[in-house]
Structure 1
Amino acid sequence: MVEITGSFSSFSIDDVDKARDFYVGTLGLTSEDIMGGLRLTLPGGAQVFAYPKPDHIPATHTVLNFVVPNVDTAVASLHELGIRTDLYPSSEQMPLDENGILRDPNGKAGNGIAWFKDPAGNVLSVVNEP
């Protein structure tokens, strides 16, 4: 058996400086430059590695979810920063509101999830606390 002492996730980016500006300057995370990329520390202490890749292709799935107390407030804050949350079209299977928020039909007000992109085009989300 392999002895595992920890874990982290990673995703590629196309520009380390733009990623640092976004994740640290815009979203308020902390980072450390390591191995040519960024080790991002998330709220709660988990870490993720954003590494530069010359032939980067943005992920088409959500690579990072940010838990927030109220998705409406979080989306309003993202909009104030010029970040769009209307990535996907609303459909019967995925009914989104005008801000791109998918609501939990059985949830309380402020529940839901909304997606946005980082400068490299990777999909991120803000999702209400469970």
Structure 2
Amino acid sequence: MVEISDAFPGFSVNDVEAARVFYGEVLGLSVSESMGGLQFTLPSDQGVFVYPKDDHQPASFTILNFVVPDIGQAVDDLNTAGVVTKIYTDPHAFGTDERGIAWGSRTGQGPDICWFRDPSGNVLSLIQG
């Protein structure tokens, strides 16, 4: 058996500096240089590695879910920072409102959630918790 001392998630971006600004300044996470890329720290103290990739293809699925106490306020904050939160326009797909929030607590179909993209196109979400 392999002795594992730690583990951490990672994903690629096409612009490390844009990722630094987005994850550090827009989302307010602690960001540092690491192994030729970036590492940011989640509120749970989990580190996430972000690495440059010339032929980066954005993840079409949600790679990170950020739990927030007030999804409406968090969406307003992202929108004020220039982040688009209405990325799914098919009303039948997720039932999002004009701001991109799927109010699962109101419909009984899951959590209140909103999706958005980082500067490299990777899908992220806010979930009210």
The answer, yes or no, to whether TM exceeds 0.5 is yes
Deviation at 1:82, TM superposition (A): 1.0
* Residue 93 (structure 1) shift: 4.6
Distance 1:9 1:42 in 2: 11
What is the root-mean-square deviation in Å for CA atoms of aligned residues? 1.4
Inter-partner Cα distance in structure 2 for 1:17 and 1:68: 25
Unpaired segments of 5 or more residues in structure 1? none
User: Mind listing any 5+ residue stretches in structure 2 that lack a counterpart?
Assistant: none
Give yes or no for the alignment of 1:31 onto 2:35.
no
Equivalent residues, number: 126
CA distance in structure 2 between the partners assigned to 1:50 and 1:102 by the alignment: 28
Corresponding residue of 2:97 = 97
Identical aligned residues as a percent: 47
Q: d(CA) in 2 for partners of 1:94 and 1:64?
A: 18
SS at match of 1:21: helix
**Distance between the aligned counterparts of 2:47 and 2:92, measured in 1?**
36
Q: Which runs of 4+ in 1 moved over 6 A?
A: none
Structure 2 residue matching 1:39: 3-state secondary structure:
strand
1:1-130 residue pairs with structure 2 within 5 A? 1-104=1-104, 105-106=107-108, 112-129=112-129
Q: Deviation per CA, 1:70-101, whole angstroms, max 9, x where unpaired? A: 11111011111111111002333521111111
Q: Contact 1:38 / 1:51 at 8 angstroms: preserved in 2?
A: yes
